[in-house]
Chain A
């Protein structure tokens, strides 16, 4: 998946549209990171640095926050080093999510989602309401579509999260 995403034609197709860039390429990179981490053997030393998944989820939320900044998107498009960093950090965020999710437990997960989902809503609103183009590389229509998509994704994520509370399970993996 990572190799496919890195193919120049696929990359430019996805990055040519702001909505595809943020709402398709980013999640796919996160998924690739998740799958990579799934294939790795469990490392106890790593988990020492990631008690209750806090460090991992914090890192993932910081990475997501950074790549929602319009200037960062512009830089990724104009500078290949930043583009490489984007791939790497999103992969790492995906891996961090995988390594942290199980041990995080309901509260740390809730805190992570309670931060990331409203953040996506606010950024979506900013993209929709900003009176000017906020990315040099994208037109206002792109920005509007990306903003609306972020809002929709955040609302859908919130609904799924809430519904998960109703799923019958006695297993809350972590205590945090």
Chain B
């Protein structure tokens, strides 16, 4: 049941990885420009800042999704029979959606942040019109349609091979202790379940908001809208790291020589995560006093527990598999281990912010971007970079040159320090989503810009090198 089909990275995965690398780099540049603007190093107009912020937010969510999908598709395809046509269809919807989103932002001026919180998209106050908002939301809807196809194909292939989601999640293994599915299949099943739910909810709220855009008399309950948006958005962005972590499960054993075995706690952890990822989002609504109290309490409790089962097991297993393993270090293995650190460290500020008493004063500060930059930049993006590097090296361990070591350290230190500057800014009560900062806050942004430049330069070196490896065989052929 668990036999792997060893096959090289196929076309769709390479294209996904290449697009992910390029877009990640572009989004990093947007981030650098925004921090330089806040530090008054660059004279960018506030309306352009908010457009960049919107593009950076939705761009990172989308590309983390695409990069994570590449990892999942590639490794899940070793266990089940996936059909490439669906990966290409997803990409076609994705690119069409991106064109609409970018048109809405940079041609139409839409700048309501990636969360498109109701009723802001319909109230551009002269900065953008309803067609720009419609292009943005329609684009997100199209990306969702592509992703739905992608996950339906994953569901079909998983069920065809394993019989049901229950078996693919390993529930039979909990009883019998026999025939555990591979870690990749368990993780992919969880992501498939949560993202099918999230995408359908996203489709509902996006359609509701599109109707409201053109028929404003039909209003949406703002709290319902916020709940639906965060249920969709938070689950989707959470799922990106659960897809990307498959790279750790699949690639790290090649370096340590120790297989990533599935034990009962691993199965429990992923099944628990499946439920908790769907119920953790209310920690983004702790400041909404009209939200029912039980949801606040649930938000806090699940914030404490949500990431821990899978993270704790992955972290422990990673350390255990490295310890005295004579691991061969190269850029891929180093990035993978770094990503586990980023994921682990990134959870800590989230748990702190998930505490209601802290959330009341910290949630609208730069503390929250501090959390998700640690989590995504040093966690998810680093996993995607490791995967990109892995397929660029034809899925083999490679040498570790001095330049690569230098770039890795610059990336690790810059990314950590960059996220730390957000956390320190949050601790100093610097608000988030503000284009113009007070003089007392400028130093934070200026220092952060320095580290952002370090991230961009090192990531560029890593990505350009990987792109060369991905593109070269195609050019030769």
Do chains A and B stick together as partners? Answer: yes
Chain A residues near B (Cβ < 8 Å)? 105-107, 110-111, 114, 117-119, 121-122, 125-126, 129-132, 158, 162, 165-170, 172, 175
B357 part of interface (Cβ distance < 8 Å): no
- Return B34 CB to nearest CB of chain A, in Å: 34
Query: Quick one: closest A residue to B81, CB to CB?
Result: A175
Q: Which one, A118, A119, A129, A165, contacts B164 given CB within 8 A?
A: A165
Query: Quick one: closest B residue to A117, CB to CB?
Result: B200
Identify 14 residue pairs between A and B in the complex whose beta-carbon atoms are under 8 Å apart, listed by A's number.
Answer: A106-B156, A117-B200, A118-B200, A122-B204, A125-B204, A129-B221, A130-B217, A158-B197, A165-B159, A165-B165, A166-B166, A168-B164, A168-B166, A168-B167
Q: Is the CB of A111 within 8 A of B165?
A: no
Tell me the residues in window 213-256 of chain B with beta carbons closer than 8 Å to chain A beta carbons.
Answer: 217-221
Query: Quick one: closest A residue to B163, CB to CB?
Result: A170
Q: Is the CB of A166 within 8 A of B165?
A: yes
Q: Is the CB of B156 within 8 A of A167?
A: no
The answer for the CA separation of A129 and B207 in the assembled complex, in Å, is 14
The answer for the CA separation of A131 and B164 in the assembled complex, in Å, is 44
The answer for the CA separation of A131 and B218 in the assembled complex, in Å, is 7
The answer for the CA separation of A26 and B291 in the assembled complex, in Å, is 36
B358 part of interface (Cβ distance < 8 Å): no
Tell me the residues in window 158-188 of chain B with beta carbons closer than 8 Å to chain A beta carbons.
Answer: 159-160, 163-167
Q: Which one, B156, B204, B208, B220, contacts A105 given CB within 8 A?
A: B156
B22 part of interface (Cβ distance < 8 Å): no
Tell me the residues in window 242-272 of chain B with beta carbons closer than 8 Å to chain A beta carbons.
Answer: none
The answer for the CA separation of A109 and B402 in the assembled complex, in Å, is 53
Q: Is the CB of B164 within 8 A of A114?
A: no
B461 part of interface (Cβ distance < 8 Å): no
Q: Is the CB of A162 within 8 A of B197?
A: yes
The answer for the CA separation of A9 and B278 in the assembled complex, in Å, is 47
Q: Is the CB of A122 within 8 A of B219?
A: no
User: Please, which residues of chain B bring their CB within 8 A of the CB of A172?
Assistant: 156, 159-160
User: Please, which residues of chain A bring their CB within 8 A of the CB of B156?
Assistant: 105-107, 172, 175
B153 part of interface (Cβ distance < 8 Å): yes
Chain B residues near A (Cβ < 8 Å)? 86, 148-149, 152-153, 155-156, 159-160, 163-167, 193, 196-197, 199-200, 203-204, 207-208, 211, 217-221
- Return A47 CB to nearest CB of chain B, in Å: 21
The answer for the CA separation of A147 and B441 in the assembled complex, in Å, is 50
New contact pairs (13) apart from A106-B156, A114-B148, A158-B197, CB-CB < 8 Å? A107-B153, A110-B155, A114-B196, A122-B208, A126-B218, A129-B218, A131-B218, A165-B164, A166-B165, A169-B164, A170-B163, A172-B160, A175-B156
Q: Which one, A118, A129, A169, contacts B220 given CB within 8 A?
A: A129
Q: What number of residue pairs across chains A and B have CB atoms under 8 A from each other?
A: 76
Q: Is the CB of B152 within 8 A of A107?
A: yes
Q: Is the CB of A106 within 8 A of B208?
A: no
Q: Is the CB of B203 within 8 A of A168?
A: no
Pairs of residues from A and B, 4 with the lowest C-beta to C-beta distance, nearest first: A110-B152, A106-B156, A165-B165, A168-B164
- Return A146 CB to nearest CB of chain B, in Å: 16
- Return A128 CB to nearest CB of chain B, in Å: 10
Q: Is the CB of B207 within 8 A of A122?
A: yes
Q: Is the CB of A167 within 8 A of B217?
A: no
User: Please, which residues of chain B bring their CB within 8 A of the CB of A118?
Assistant: 200, 203-204, 207
The answer for the CA separation of A125 and B153 in the assembled complex, in Å, is 30
Q: Is the CB of B159 within 8 A of A129?
A: no
Also in contact, A121 and B204, with CB within 8 A (given A129-B220, A169-B164, A172-B156): yes
- Return B203 CB to nearest CB of chain A, in Å: 5
User: Please, which residues of chain A bring their CB within 8 A of the CB of B164?
Assistant: 165-169
- Return B224 CB to nearest CB of chain A, in Å: 9
Query: Quick one: closest A residue to B224, CB to CB?
Result: A125
User: Please, which residues of chain A bring their CB within 8 A of the CB of B211?
Assistant: 122, 126
Q: Is the CB of B193 within 8 A of A162?
A: yes
The answer for the CA separation of A114 and B150 in the assembled complex, in Å, is 13
The answer for the CA separation of A110 and B192 in the assembled complex, in Å, is 13
Q: Which one, B149, B159, B193, contacts A111 given CB within 8 A?
A: B149
The answer for the CA separation of A107 and B204 in the assembled complex, in Å, is 20
Query: Quick one: closest B residue to A158, CB to CB?
Result: B200
Also in contact, A165 and B197, with CB within 8 A (given A118-B203, A170-B163): no
The answer for the CA separation of A74 and B217 in the assembled complex, in Å, is 21
Q: Is the CB of A125 within 8 A of B155?
A: no
User: Please, which residues of chain A bring their CB within 8 A of the CB of B200?
Assistant: 114, 117-118, 158
The answer for the CA separation of A117 and B246 in the assembled complex, in Å, is 31
The answer for the CA separation of A158 and B153 in the assembled complex, in Å, is 18
Q: Is the CB of A106 within 8 A of B204?
A: no
User: Please, which residues of chain B bring their CB within 8 A of the CB of A122?
Assistant: 204, 207-208, 211
User: Please, which residues of chain A bring their CB within 8 A of the CB of B219?
Assistant: 129, 131
User: Please, which residues of chain B bring their CB within 8 A of the CB of A158?
Assistant: 197, 200
The answer for the CA separation of A171 and B149 in the assembled complex, in Å, is 20
Q: Which one, A106, A125, A130, contacts B159 given CB within 8 A?
A: A106
The answer for the CA separation of A166 and B220 in the assembled complex, in Å, is 34
